[in-house]
Structures are given as structure tokens and as C-alpha cells.
Structure 1
């Protein structure tokens, strides 16, 4: 196979991964139609889609197979205890209930320890919890990936495209006539050469510009919003907010392991804490999650970060397991 053919195959697989991931995240009617059009455009597209789907199903199968195996063992054991028909039925039902409970526990364990395994499967680059990674792209650009973050990349002669799947990243883009686009579920950032942060938050994201210029757009606001160095802009599927001046050093303090925030949602702050500790930190109350907080803490010690937030906000921390902390009022 020629080098050109291999590159074409790799591009199709990357596109298939992006479509497959998009279809798992509550796609709109327009997105579903666009995906179907892409799949039908060429046999290679459908083949790549089915390959991605097959691997995903194989990845999801081990926990289910283990539960099924345990169900068989339990059913056999209970049947051997008594040959009475009525009791066998009762015990088989009990065995099924136990097996179901075991499967739910397996799935819960997977969710607590690695809730983003599906995104990791679709990504080209992943930073684990507590890890910041610098990634060099083929065009010479670099990406500093925050902890528990992931992206996929597709560089062609016509377009340099990065899809930020979750988390945050700092981009140092090499100037080129080829546009560089960072896509997210909530909007996109288009540049030629610059340095900027993109961070996903609940329902949207934030772009902070250190150097150069960028254009931020979303499905709800296709007309791009230009921002200048020292400015930050929030975006969502509904639109792009007005740019605001910020302290860039504070906004990008996470590069050196510190998180500084001003009137941020408590839910978003907790998500940053969660990136640097195992398991999940959950806030069941939307009112509490929407509460605004200001402060800073070292990302190296999340226990102290939680204590500091608790002292300033006054919430309760309940440590259910090593992998689950629940925050309540």
C-alpha cells in the first residue's frame, strides 16, 4: 500500500472515530443526519465506522461476560442445593438478582475509576488523572494537555484540526497558511498561529488568549467572535459571550500546578479538583454546584484543596469510598 493510501485510510479512521464519539453524546438531528450522510458517502467510511463500533463493543464486553459467568456459577450452585422445582425457581431468581447486582457493581466501579474510558478509546492523546503532558504535533505545534484531558488530531494539507474531547489544553500553534482549528462539543476556535488555552466546562467552555488572535464560534452563533491577547471568552452551543479582560498568568497558572479562580461555579472548580485525584467528586444539588467561589490552591494536594473550599463555602464532604466523595449543603 502506498504512503498516500495509508494516509487516506488513517484520515478516514480518524473521521470515523470523531463521528462515532459524537453519536454517543446526545447528537442533534442535524448531527445524526450529517453522520449518516458521511457513512453513505463511500464504502470505506462505513467499513471504518463498523470497525470502530466492533472495537467499542469488544471493549465493553469483559465486565458483562464476567457477570454472565458468575450468573452461571451461581445458578448451578443453587440448583445443586435442592432438586425441588419451586425452590430451584426461587433460587435461580435470587442468583439472577445477585448476578445483576454484581454487574451493576462492576459498571459502577468502572465509572468511578475510569468514567471516560470511551473517550480515551476515541482519542489520539490522553493525559491521566494527576498528569500534565506536553504533546508535539506533526506540524511543529505543541499542546500542553491538562490532567484527565483528551484530544484527537487530524493534520492535512488543507486543515490542521484538533478535537478536544474533554478537559483543558494550552496550544502553541506554529504560524502557517494552513488554518488550525480546535473543535469542541460546544464550539470551535480558529487560528493561524498563536498561544491560547481552551477549557471545557459544564455546558460549554472558555478560551483564554496569550498571544496572537483567535476566532471563536458555535453552532448557535456561526459568526466568529474575535478576541485579543489578555482576553477570555466563554462559549456554549447557544452562542459566544462578549470577550472580557483577564489576568493571563492567573488563568494559565495550571501550567505550573496551581489553580486560580474568580467567581467560578463551584461545580466547575470541583471538576478541576477531580482531575487531580482518583475517582469522582459529585455535587447532587444544582443550587450548590452553581454557587460562585473565588480562591486558589495547589493541584498537588487535592485534600487540602477540598478543605479550603469547605472552609470558605461551608458545604459537607462525605467520603463514601476512596473513589467517591459527595458534596452536600
Structure 2
């Protein structure tokens, strides 16, 4: 059991509201929506916390979020924001002020999308790392989690189980042996262990678990598989893929500041690079993103990593505004 003090009730309600807001912006099920309505109706404080969060999001982050939903629209939005600012300077005094205000709102939305695309998710979690940051987290039972850059982890310990949820990014767990089960949730799947060392990486709507020591059981969509040391498995809401051998030196190299990969889709490699640099990387072609690549590079120099990938594959790369990198065939 955890010895941590009880959380502040108001803070807990705000965290619950943020969690519901984040969940409902995705493909929530009918059952989840009914559960949300029940939570909202249970207390006026619940409804007020949710409404305040929704209002704040509509005023600041919503423009950037809407842009992020359509890749082509993302680029148009960012460029339009910069064009609006330039156009405002050429207007008469009164119209210039109005145009500047509109451009500022656009740029605020673009800034949220570029620099803090997971802002709402961060509000609903316990541990967050920024881009370029790796941090060791001490969990209440003595277990540890090393979080890779731009990762988010939530924990919920009870007398009967030790449960954590990896919302995004990568985490390497060293679990303290106990009769109380240790469970990791990620993208619709669950990993159950008693005492072991393993790595979990969230990649969009899937995740990959790599086992270094001990044994883990992975469950997703009713399917179950048990991993032995030196094995890895990709899973998600569509179930489990076949268990495959892992290259531990390669798969766990991020802990030492390197990223090594073999026959990995370019889009997933760019996602890893993006966690170590400011701004965003956009890839505008699905077929290009699906191309498999192999290599290794230091995570501290992402410009060199992008140049190396460009040289090996031959894609076009444009840098806009110092924060946006656009990849195309």
C-alpha cells in the first residue's frame, strides 16, 4: 500500500475532469459516455470543473487541436497564422490592432499544437517528462520507472494491486517483487508481472513490450501471451501480434541516449526523434511513413539524425519558423 498523503479533493476533481475531457475527445464508447454523464451528475463540483476546463480549452488550445486532427490542415493553419501576422502590420491603425489580435489567437493555438500537443493529457497524469528529458521515477512500492523524453505515466495503487498507466512515450520498469500484482496499462492492453525488468513503448494506437528479466503476461482484446527474457511483443486494441526475439542492446539503447532500430517504419522513427526536439515533425505521405529503415544515432543531436535519415531515404525536408519540420517524398 502507498504511504502518500491523500490528495487534495479539489485537485483530484480537476484531474478527473481533465481525464474525462481527454477521453471524450477520442473514440469514446457508449458505455464510457454513460459513465461520464453519471460522474458529471454526481456533484455540482464535477460539472463545474469540467465546464471550466472545456471553456479554457475552447479559448486557447482548441484551434491548435483542430489543426492537429487533419495533417494537411495542420500545415495550412501554421502558415496562415504567420501570414495573418504579416498582413496585420500593413493595415491601418485600428484594423492593424484587430488583425494583430486575431493573429495572436491563431499563433497561440499554433503554439499549443507545436509545443504542448499533450497539454490536456499532462493534466490528468502523475509523472511527465518534457522533450529531451529522461527521468527516473520512484513508485510508492519501491519499484522504479525510467521515463523517456515526452512521456506520461499515471499510477493508482491499492491494497490489492499496483497499477500504472503509460499514456504516451516510453518507460523502463524495474518492479519490486511482491505478492501484490504489478500491472501496466497501455493502448487497450495490460501487462501483468510480479517482479521483473521490462520496457514499454507507446506508438500511436499500439505499444511494444520488451522483456529484459523475469516473466510478463500481456493481455489485449481477450488474447494473452507470456514473454520470456529476450522477447518482445506488439499489442493494441486489435489484439496481440506474434511474440518475436528482441535485441536488448538495440531495443533498450535509449536509456543510454542512443536510438537504434532495425526495419522500423520511418514514421515511428520520426516520432522518437520528435520527443527530443522542440516543435513538431510532420510527415505528409503515408507510404513514405511506412517505409522501413534501420540505423542508430545519438538522441542529443536530432538535426544530425534527421540529416542521416534524409541521406539514406532521400525524402524532402523543409523547416518552417524554427519549430516545424515538414517531411515529404
Contiguous gaps of at least 5 residues in structure 1: 65-73, 82-90
State the partner residue of 2:52. 54
Give yes or no for contact 1:14–1:154 (8 Å, CA) kept in 2: no
**Given the superposition, is the C-alpha separation of residues 317 and 5 from structure 1 closer, same or farther in structure 2, using an over 3 Å criterion?**
closer
Deviation (angstroms), 1:61: 4.2
After TM superposition, list the pairs within 5 Å mapping 1:33-72 onto structure 2. Answer: 33-37=34-38, 43=42, 47-48=45-46, 50-51=48-49, 54-55=52-53, 57-58=55-56, 61=59
State the partner residue of 1:28. 29
Give SS of 2:303's match: helix
Q: TM-score normalized by structure 1? A: 0.81
Q: TM-score normalized by structure 2? A: 0.81
State the partner residue of 1:131. 133
1:110 aligns with one of 92, 109, 112: 112
Write out per-residue CA displacement over residues 116-169 of structure 1, whole angstroms, 9 at most, x where no aligned residue. Answer: 111111121110100000000111110100001111111111121111111111
**Given the superposition, is the C-alpha separation of residues 5 and 109 from structure 1 closer, same or farther in structure 2, using an over 3 Å criterion?**
closer
**Given the superposition, is the C-alpha separation of residues 292 and 129 from structure 1 closer, same or farther in structure 2, using an over 3 Å criterion?**
same
Question: CA–CA distance in 1 between the matches of 2:325 and 2:141?
Answer: 42
Deviation (angstroms), 1:249: 1.8
**Given the superposition, is the C-alpha separation of residues 133 and 16 from structure 1 closer, same or farther in structure 2, using an over 3 Å criterion?**
same
Deviation (angstroms), 1:236: 1.7
Question: CA–CA distance in 2 between the matches of 1:102 and 1:7?
Answer: 37
Question: CA–CA distance in 2 between the matches of 1:175 and 1:11?
Answer: 29
Q: Which runs of 4+ in 1 moved over 3 A?
A: 3-20, 33-40, 46-50, 55-64, 94-102
Deviation (angstroms), 1:37: 4.9
Question: CA–CA distance in 1 between the matches of 2:13 and 2:101?
Answer: 40
Give SS of 1:115's match: coil
State the partner residue of 1:246. 246
Deviation (angstroms), 1:298: 0.4
Give SS of 2:222's match: strand
State the partner residue of 1:324. 324
State the partner residue of 2:78. none
Give SS of 2:183's match: strand
State the partner residue of 2:289. 289
Question: CA–CA distance in 1 between the matches of 2:290 and 2:99?
Answer: 38
Deviation (angstroms), 1:191: 1.6
State the partner residue of 1:88. none
Question: CA–CA distance in 1 between the matches of 2:23 and 2:259?
Answer: 30
State the partner residue of 1:198. 200
Give yes or no for contact 2:317–2:325 (8 Å, CA) kept in 1: yes
CA-based RMSD? 2.9
Deviation (angstroms), 1:18: 3.9
Give yes or no for contact 2:195–2:214 (8 Å, CA) kept in 1: yes
Q: Which has the higher contact order (CA 8 A, sep 6+)?
A: 2
State the partner residue of 1:86. none
State the partner residue of 2:75. none
After TM superposition, list the pairs within 5 Å mapping 1:176-325 onto structure 2. Answer: 176-218=178-220, 221-325=221-325
State the partner residue of 1:155. 157
Question: CA–CA distance in 2 between the matches of 1:8 and 1:319?
Answer: 44
Give the number of aligned pairs. 299
Q: Larger deviation: 261-270 or 153-162? A: 153-162
Deviation (angstroms), 1:202: 2.3
Give SS of 2:261's match: strand
